[in-house]
A and B are shown apart, each in its own frame.
Chain A
Amino acid sequence: EVQLVESGGALVQPGGSLRLSCAYSGFSFSTYWMSWVRQAPGKGLEWVASISQDGSDKYYVDSVKGRFTISRDNAKNSLYLLMNSLRAEDTAVYYCARGGSAKGQFNCWGQGTLVTVSS
């Protein structure tokens, strides 16, 4: 069974940092694009970042460029999101998602981890 499990969400002060992790099981992790998608409380979905199978290509939504870094460790079957200079508007549930037949499709999702940015 394919499973993605996020961790690392927490309450953090504005300007702080946090690293999210996503552990997978049940599929060949290194053959898929992986992404982070977030959802602010009561709001819609927003794509945050994507990373290629070998980690050489990375894309970000403009609002997080220069602050967030997506990475992966295929040997540890893990995806990461390092978030710096956090703002109140980064408050959201963060989902990791596996790419589908095209890199921008998301055909398997974790349960999400909540990041709250507040003083």
Chain B
Amino acid sequence: DIQMTQSPASLSASVGDRVTITCRASQSISYSLNWYQQKPGKAPKLLIYTASTLESGVPSRFSGSGSGTDFTLTISSLQPEDFATYYCQQSYRTSYTFGQGTKLEIK
């Protein structure tokens, strides 16, 4: 299976900050990388797919980049509603695997 490793596991930041979360795959997955946001007690929400394509309705402050094994999710200016847990996920091949998550907390 392809292992996905996110860093950091948790992150404290303030409203207005620029934040970057990284995700590394154990082997090349081309551009087959997706990012999800999950708030407590809620289902995950797709933010970005194929590494850099913004899902419809997602604010433009979210962006993704990378290819091969290294990927990043960037939030350009944190808003109060962005405090949540973020997961990367590879869709290159089954078993589809997720990173362990990055919990973004208010400083």
Task: Tell whether A106 is near chain B: CB-to-CB under 8 Å.
Answer: yes
**Known contacts A103-B91, A104-B91, A104-B94, A44 near B101 by CB under 8 Å:** yes
Whether A111 and B46, one on each chain, are in contact in the complex, defined by CB atoms closer than 8 angstroms, is no
CA distance A35 to B43 in the complex (A): 14
Interface SS of chain B = loop
> Which B residues have a C-beta under 8 Å from some C-beta of A?
1, 32, 34, 36, 38, 42-46, 49-50, 55, 87, 89-101
CA distance A59 to B94 in the complex (A): 7
What bracket does the count of chain A residues touching chain B fall in? 20 to 34
- Sample 8 A-B pairs with CB under 8 A, ordered by A number: A37-B44, A95-B43, A104-B94, A106-B44, A107-B49, A107-B55, A110-B43, A112-B43
Whether B36 and A111, one on each chain, are in contact in the complex, defined by CB atoms closer than 8 angstroms, is no
CA distance A59 to B46 in the complex (A): 21
CA distance A107 to B91 in the complex (A): 12
Whether B92 and A109, one on each chain, are in contact in the complex, defined by CB atoms closer than 8 angstroms, is no
Whether A102 and B49, one on each chain, are in contact in the complex, defined by CB atoms closer than 8 angstroms, is yes
- B-facing mask of A82-107, CB < 8 A → 1, else 0? 00000000000001000011111111
B89 cross-chain contacts in A, Cβ below 8 A:
45, 47, 104, 106
B36 cross-chain contacts in A, Cβ below 8 A:
45, 106
CA distance A61 to B2 in the complex (A): 12
Whether B44 and A61, one on each chain, are in contact in the complex, defined by CB atoms closer than 8 angstroms, is no
Whether B91 and A46, one on each chain, are in contact in the complex, defined by CB atoms closer than 8 angstroms, is no
Min distance, Cβ B4 to any Cβ of chain A, angstroms: 10
**Known contacts A104-B91, A111-B43, A44 near B55 by CB under 8 Å:** no
**Known contacts A109-B43, A111-B43, A45 near B49 by CB under 8 Å:** no
- B-facing mask of A35-75, CB < 8 A → 1, else 0? 10100000011110010000000010110000000000000
- Chain A CB within 10 Å, residue with most, of B43, B89, B94, B99: B43
Closest residue to A35 on the B side, CB-wise? B96
Min distance, Cβ A106 to any Cβ of chain B, angstroms: 6
A103 cross-chain contacts in B, Cβ below 8 A:
91
